[in-house]
Structure 1
Amino acid sequence: MANPFPSDDNGRVLLRMQENGDDLAKPRDIDFTVVFPGQSSAVAFADYFRRSGYKVSVEKTGSVPELPWDVIVVKHMIPSHNEIAEFENTLSDFASPLGGRNDGWGCFAQPTRH
């Protein structure tokens, strides 16, 4: 069977999810992580998305040493390649001027019922 997704990072993740029995037609909360060099830029970014109606958290994790501040923006959506890429572009448009960048996304599986 041919890969139904583009051969980029998001496509590989979606393919792996599908192969593991995830029902990609089911909406769910997806956590998008954006990393920043400092607390003030992370908080400014988080405040914007919080005011836009998203659930947002800010934490200093240091998982990316040069960008130690993580902002997680939660969006309830169907995990489609186009929707994920569009939202990542939106996040990037706001993060870049603040010195931030996307650092991936994740969600809980929604198994297919047999």
Structure 2
Amino acid sequence: MVNIFTPKFPKDDDGRVLKMLYKDGVDFKKAQDIDFFVAVPDKKSGDTILGILSDNGFNCELEQDDESKEWTCYCIIKMLLKYEDIIDIQKRLNELSKPYGGYSD
């Protein structure tokens, strides 16, 4: 008899993405590269936020969207796909970027 256990995921955007990845067969026991996005108001603020995130151990790049012209810091973190840890990182990115007009997106 096969025991199939499907973990429960919160019913928010992050939970839905994790559920989709689980159903697609992603190995949750293996660290994965996760993209985090921090929306920033302009290049100057983005450069400041980029430096602060870097000083706090985040590996990020600042990019401007060609069409919308909006600025974003893209951060990649290799970690296990644990909902609580993902939420904690988003909160930390918010804390670090908020004083400069940025927010985790």
TM-score by length of 2: 0.85
Kept in 1, the 8 Å contact 2:53–2:96? The answer is no
* More relative contact order, 1 or 2 (CA 8 Å, 6+ apart): 1
After superposing on structure 2, the runs of 4+ consecutive aligned residues of structure 1 that deviate more than 4 Å are none
Query: CA–CA distance in 2 between the matches of 1:9 and 1:90?
Result: 18
For residues 23-34 of structure 1, the aligned pairs below 5 Å read 23-34=27-38
- Identity of paired residues, percent? 28
Query: CA–CA distance in 2 between the matches of 1:102 and 1:23?
Result: 25
The one of 68, 71, 83 equivalent to 2:70 is 68
Kept in 2, the 8 Å contact 1:43–1:58? The answer is yes
Query: CA–CA distance in 2 between the matches of 1:10 and 1:25?
Result: 18
Equivalent residue for 2:82? 80
Equivalent residue for 1:57? 61
- The alignment's C-alpha RMSD in Å is 1.9
Q: Extract unaligned runs of 5+ from structure 2.
A: none
Note the C-alpha offset of 1:2. Answer: 6.3
Query: CA–CA distance in 2 between the matches of 1:33 and 1:84?
Result: 12
Paired residue total: 101
Change (3 A) 1:2 1:75: closer
Q: Which amino acid aligns with 1:81?
A: Y
Note the C-alpha offset of 1:45. Answer: 0.9
The one of 36, 39, 43 equivalent to 1:39 is 43
Note the C-alpha offset of 1:12. Answer: 0.5
